[in-house]
């Protein structure tokens, strides 16, 4: 089954996306993504998440910087109020989530992160983007971004990493990689980041069968 998913901590931003999509008459589903910091090296079998007397499905996510640091990650059906219990070693720790129009509040003794989650279950949304968002081969940085302030540039670059990037961890070394077929687009980022003394290596990687 096809589903396009958009996740972000910025709830007003997601609200605007939802408004646009609804005006276009596309179907949209809403959920929440919850991440919970666990004790180092915690195994999935040693933890339970309970909501409304039912077990929640979750997976363990390891930090790209330290494999010992882990989070429990679960997807929640959208509603206004949650009381979730994390059970570990016979201890129950509550996580209370309250969803407001422009923000989501979490109360817990645990470190938690919450993301809004918009899902588009129909292929029509991709057909729409292909029709109205231009040729992917001609994708490029607009002049307004090339001439913007540092804060806006770094915000856009952070979004690029979220969408197309990965972080590799080698001992004390951290490497951010962004891979795309659009050579010119990446070359623009390569040059733009140099203006802020952020240097990168730009090279072509030959894929198997190509």
Q: How do residues 99-134 score in pLDDT, each as one tens digit?
A: 998 899 999 999 999 999 998 877 777 777 777 766
Where in the sequence is the domain holding 46, given as residue range(s)?
Answer: 4-120
Same domain for 105 and 19, yes or no, is yes
Per-residue confidence (pLDDT) for residue 209, from 0 to 100: 45
- In this structure, is residue 50 part of a structural domain? yes
Domain count, the chain: 2
Which regions of 63-153 does DSSP assign to beta strands (E)?
A: 70-77, 81-88, 91-99, 104-108, 112-120
- In this structure, is residue 205 part of a structural domain? no
- Give the pLDDT confidence of 5-49 residue by residue, as tens digits: 888 888 888 898 899 888 988 888 999 999 999 999 999 999 999
* C-alpha–C-alpha distance, residues 156 and 188, integer Å: 13
Same domain for 113 and 9, yes or no, is yes
Same domain for 102 and 174, yes or no, is no
- In this structure, is residue 204 part of a structural domain? no
Find out whether 38 and 32 touch, Cβ atoms under 8 Å.
no
Express as a percent the part of the chain with pLDDT over 90.
39
Same domain for 114 and 12, yes or no, is yes
Query: Which token pair is 127?
Result: 């057909």
pLDDT band at 136 (very low <50, low <70, confident <90, very high): low
User: Where does 26-171 have alpha helices with state H?
Assistant: 124-132, 143-146, 150-164
SS (H, E, C) 165-179: EEEEEECCEEEEEEC
Per-residue confidence (pLDDT) for residue 210, from 0 to 100: 39
């Amino acid at each position: 089954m096809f589903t396009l998913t958009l996740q972000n901590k910025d709830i007003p931003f997601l609200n605007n996306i939802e408004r646009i999509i609804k005006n276009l008459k596309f179907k949209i589903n809403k959920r929440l993504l919850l991440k919970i910091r666990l004790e180092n090296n915690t195994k999935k079998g040693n933890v339970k998440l309970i909501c409304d007397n039912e077990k929640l499905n979750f997976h363990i996510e390891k930090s790209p910087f330290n494999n010992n640091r882990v989070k429990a990650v679960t997807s929640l059906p959208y509603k206004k109020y949650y009381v979730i219990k994390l059970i570990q070693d016979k201890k129950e720790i509550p996580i209370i989530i309250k969803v407001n129009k422009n923000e989501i509040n979490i109360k817990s003794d645990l470190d938690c992160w919450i993301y809004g989650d918009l899902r588009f279950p129909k292929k029509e949304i991709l057909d729409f983007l292909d029709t109205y968002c231009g040729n992917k081969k001609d994708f490029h940085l607009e002049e307004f971004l090339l001439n913007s302030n540092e804060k806006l540039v770094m915000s856009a670059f952070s979004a690029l990493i979220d969408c197309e990037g990965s972080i590799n961890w080698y001992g004390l070394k951290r490497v951010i990689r962004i891979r795309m077929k659009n050579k010119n687009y990446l070359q623009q980022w390569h040059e733009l980041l140099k203006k802020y003394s952020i240097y990168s290596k730009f090279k072509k990687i030959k894929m198997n069968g190509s």
